[in-house]
Each structure stands twice: as C-alpha cells, then as structure tokens.
C-alpha cells in the first residue's frame, strides 16, 4: 500500500498531523499499536484532568460551609472516580476514531518500524505488512522514565499509568519528582485522603517555574496537608515488606520514609527504541531524534515531531510541530515555531500557567525589568469564588515595553494564559495591556492589574 504520508503514532502529535495532512489533500495513514489518541488522551492529559475534577468537587464538599451550605453526609467512591476518568478517556479516543473516518485517514493497527526506502513494516500480532510513503513522520511519544535506583514494578513502585488505575486508594504515597505530573498526582491523592509526601531533588518544587510561583505552590500544598522535602533524593527502595521503605538523602543525612506506594514522576523517556532508526540511519542525540526547524531528519523523507525531538514535551507543542511539518511538506509558507512563546500549565490546586522568561532568566539575559504582581486576594471575583490563593506576575523590558514573561498561580489560570501568549505573539507592550479593557469581575482582570503594577498605575492594590 502506497501513501503520500504515513504517521507513526496517533497521540496529539500524530493524529493532528494526519488530519492536517488530509486537509491539505494528502493520502494519509496512521500506525498505532495501542489506542488512538496516544498517551495524552488515554493515559495523560485528559484522564488526569478527569481525576483532578473529581478532587475539586470533593474539596468543594469538604468546604461547603465556607459557602454557607450544610452537607451532613458525603463520601467518595475511589473506584467510581477512577472509572469516570477511564470513561472520559475512552470517549475521547472514540472521538479520534471518528475524526480519522471523517478525514478519510487509514488507521493501521500494530507496531510500526521504519525501513530504508521510505517504508514502514507493521507487526500486528505476528503478521507483518509493509507500507510505503513519500513522507514518513515519527510521532511515537514518550513513557515514564525509570531511575536505576527506583525501578518500577507496577505495584509498589509505579509510574503515571498505574497511578490512574490503582485498584484501591493507598493510605500513604511518596511522590518522587515535583514537575507537573508529580504535583498533579500529589494534589489528587491528597484531596482523596491519602497521606502524601513529595521528594524533590532541587531546591524548589515545580522547579521550571518562576521562583515566586514555586514558593507559593509549596505554601499552598503544605497548607492542604502535603508533606514536601526539597534538596532530597531517593537513594533506594525496599519493597520486601507490605509497603515500601524509601531511603531519602537530605542535607541532614538519610532518613527512611514508609508508604504503601511510591510514584516515580522523574520525567519521561522518548520512545525511539525498536522503531528502525539505526537501520535507516537517522541521527539521534541524548534520547532525541535530531531535526531541522521544519522537523526533517538527516535522511530525506523522514521526519519527527513531539516528545521524540528536542523541546518541551507537551501535547500542544507536538500538535503545532506536526501541523508545521506537513504544511512545509505541502509547500506552504510556514514560519518556524517560536519555542520562547510556549505556554506551560500545571493542573493542581492552585493551577500554574506560565509563558516566556522567568525573572531570573530575564535578569541573566541582561534586561532592565519592570515587574508587576497582583494577588488574587485583591480580586473581587477570586474572593467571591473562595479562591484567593495565588497571583499574576508579569515581566516587561523597561526600555521597549516588550512582554518578556507571564507567570500565574491560582484558580483557573490555565484558561487565562492564552492572553499572554497571543499578546506576546503580536508584540504587545505593557501599556497596551493596561489600556485594553478587561471585564469586571473576572479573574483575568489580574493580568491588567499586574501590568499596571509594573508601571506604578495599579488601582486595586
């Protein structure tokens, strides 16, 4: 079977790439060995948000009296929460199936392996079929990374996949790593009533964020009952007993933590093994496929996008890369992606959303800064909603007014960050944000107020 484009993998990089290619008139096939939608729809972005929504509703019930409501009896059904999450994921995967049919994209089931001569061999339960295409796009994604001293057995030491489908709620859990995956699961299980401890190797949790955001997140999580150990590392785990004993190294020495389960959330590992890269001669470096600005590898006709290439391992980045890739193949005028304007979101409570440079990064680059910060404690909408934790922080270049960075922590901020992304894309200045009328009362007013604070014009603070 001959195609114009074959996409290896159907995650948010792969299936979006296939749809855009079909829209551009290409004959397209997608190869998937598991479930359409990849990790994001089935084991990542979507089902975790379903779990976190259940946690949010449960938190509302626990604090109903704060809103003048009396609920005498309420409880959780952990298995029902997990089941709801899986149902949401299944529904989204079926939605991708519909999109494949709608766009006349062939879905080939099985494990794909690229071959020289622009071919892909697909193994479906021992039956191998070969396909060819003018262009082959690798979008095989990533999986939970395992540390040598923290091997995952899938029962007592688990990754994110097992964390979404535990047969029963653990009484205690150690979360190793405090990036987005770590803090989201820490928040979920803590909200459900599990005793949670986060162990982070670096000085701050959510270490990629602006330092003020990191410190606020630590305060909020500790207030919610999560124990946090920074500048700490898990040296080894003992799973011989009923639970897990983790030896944690800190500045004060070693201590033993005991828990039912350890969740390893120390990053991801690209899925580049056993897909034929060596046979074809595609260049890699440090677990990533090397590509140019439009995702071409060193071998003509082969491309790669998403978690397997350098850059942020985010679903929306993979989608954008795939669209850019096929539009370039189609001969359209395409600008390369600006990786300095990629938003990042963490969906714990409070949420975190950020784009651009942190204060530290901007100073290191030599900018003279105007920084504005507006707390949600001064926001009428946030106070009315009972969500006064957090703030918006904006960073401008003092000389030209360029918006260098925006960092938010608070309720619903992941739905607010797009304003900063679009504004930065359009090279909007701080004064233009101040003079753009924001609706009242909304959480989004905090962006305008933070910009005004940077220029000493803030009204409500």
Annotated binding site: 49, 112, 177-184, 200, 267, 307
**What is d(CA 54, CA 400) in angstroms, rounded to the nearest whole number?**
45
Helix (H) or strand (E) holding 95: helix 78-102
pLDDT at position 39, please? Answer: 80
What is the per-residue pLDDT across 365-395, written as a single tens digit (0 to 9) for each?
A: 999 999 999 999 999 999 999 999 999 999 9
Q: What topology is assigned to 350-454 in CATH?
A: Enolase-like; domain 1 (3.30.390)
CB 230 within 8 A of CB 140: no
CA-to-CA distance for 354 and 367, rounded, in angstroms?
A: 19
- Same fold for the pair 2-144+269-339 and 350-454: no
Yes or no: say if 410 and 382 are a contact pair by the CB < 8 Å rule.
yes
Torsion angle in degrees (nearest 10) through CA of 413, 418, 421, 423 = -110
Please name which of 331, 343, 269, 342 lies closest in space to residue 294, comparing C-alpha atoms: 331
Closest Cα to residue 390, out of 371, 407, 415, 406? 407
Residue 38 has what pLDDT? 82
Question: For the chain, how big is the Rg over CA atoms in Å?
Answer: 23
C-alpha span between 130 and 135 (Å, rounded): 15
Annotated binding site for FAD: 49, 112, 307
Active site residue 440: yes
pLDDT of residue 44: 83
Among residues 135, 333, 440, 460, the one annotated as catalytic is: 440
**Residue 38 CA: distances (Å) to CA of 166, 208, 232, 315, 447:** 20, 25, 33, 10, 34
Question: How much is the pLDDT for 439?
Answer: 96
Binding region for NAD(+): 177-184, 200, 267
Q: Report pLDDT for 259.
A: 97
3-state secondary structure of 249: strand
pLDDT at 211: 97
CATH of 157-265, one of 2.40.170.20, 3.40.309.10, 3.40.605.10, 3.50.50.60: 3.50.50.60
Tell how far CA 226 is from the center of its chain: 21
pLDDT for 41 equals 81
Q: For domain 2-144+269-339, give its CATH number from 3.10.129.10, 2.40.100.10, 3.20.20.70, 3.50.50.60.
A: 3.50.50.60
Q: What is the pLDDT of residue 23?
A: 97
Residue spans of the chain under pLDDT 70: none
Boundaries of every domain in the chain: 2-144+269-339, 157-265, 350-454
Could you tell me if 358 and 405 are in contact, meaning their C-beta atoms sit under 8 angstroms apart? yes
């Amino acid at each position: 079977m001959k195609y114009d484009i074959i996409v290896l993998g159907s995650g948010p990089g792969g299936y979006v790439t296939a749809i855009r290619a079909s829209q551009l008139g290409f004959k397209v096939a997608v190869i998937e060995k598991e479930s359409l939608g990849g990790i994001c729809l089935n084991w990542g972005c979507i089902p975790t948000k379903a779990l976190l929504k259940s946690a949010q509703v449960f938190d509302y019930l626990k604090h109903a009296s704060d809103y003048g409501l009396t609920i005498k009896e309420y409880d959780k059904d952990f298995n029902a929460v997990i089941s709801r999450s899986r149902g949401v994921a299944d529904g989204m995967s079926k939605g991708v199936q519909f999109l494949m049919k709608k766009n006349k994209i062939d879905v080939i089931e099985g494990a794909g392996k690229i071959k020289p001569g622009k071919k892909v061999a697909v193994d479906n339960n021992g039956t191998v079929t070969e396909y060819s295409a003018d262009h082959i796009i690798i979008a095989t994604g990533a999986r939970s990374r395992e540390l040598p001293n923290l091997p995952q057995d899938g029962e007592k030491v688990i990754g994110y996949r097992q964390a979404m489908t535990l047969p029963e709620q653990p009484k205690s859990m150690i979360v190793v790593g405090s990036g987005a995956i770590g803090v989201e699961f820490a928040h979920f299980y803590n909200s459900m009533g599990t005793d949670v401890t986060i162990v982070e190797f670096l000085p701050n949790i959510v270490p990629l964020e602006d330092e003020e955001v990191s410190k606020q997140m630590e305060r909020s999580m500790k207030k919610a009952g999560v124990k946090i150990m920074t500048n700490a590392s898990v040296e080894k785990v003992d799973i011989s007993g009923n639970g897990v004993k983790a030896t944690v190294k800190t500045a004060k020495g070693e201590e033993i933590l005991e828990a039912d389960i350890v969740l390893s959330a120390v990053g991801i590992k690209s899925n580049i093994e056993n897909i034929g890269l060596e046979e074809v001669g595609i260049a890699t470096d440090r677990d990533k496929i090397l590509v140019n600005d439009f995702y071409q590898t060193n071998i003509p006709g082969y491309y790669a996008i998403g978690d397997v290439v350098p850059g942020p391992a985010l679903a929306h980045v993979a989608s954008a890369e795939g669209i850019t890739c096929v539009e370039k193949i189609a001969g359209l005028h395409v600008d390369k992606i600006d990786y300095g304007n990629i938003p990042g979101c963490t969906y714990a409570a409070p949420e975190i959303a950020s784009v651009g440079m942190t204060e530290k990064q901007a100073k290191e680059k030599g900018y003279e800064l105007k920084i504005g910060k507006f707390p949600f404690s001064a926001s009428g909408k946030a106070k009315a909603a009972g969500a006064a934790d957090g703030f918006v922080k904006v960073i401008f270049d003092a000389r030209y007014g360029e918006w260098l960075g925006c960092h938010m922590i608070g309720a619903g901020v992941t739905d607010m960050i797009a304003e900063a992304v679009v504004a930065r894309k359009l090279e909007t200045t701080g004064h233009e944000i101040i003079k753009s009328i924001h609706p009242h009362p909304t959480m989004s007013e905090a962006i305008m107020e933070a910009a005004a604070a940077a220029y000493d014009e803030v009204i409500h603070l």
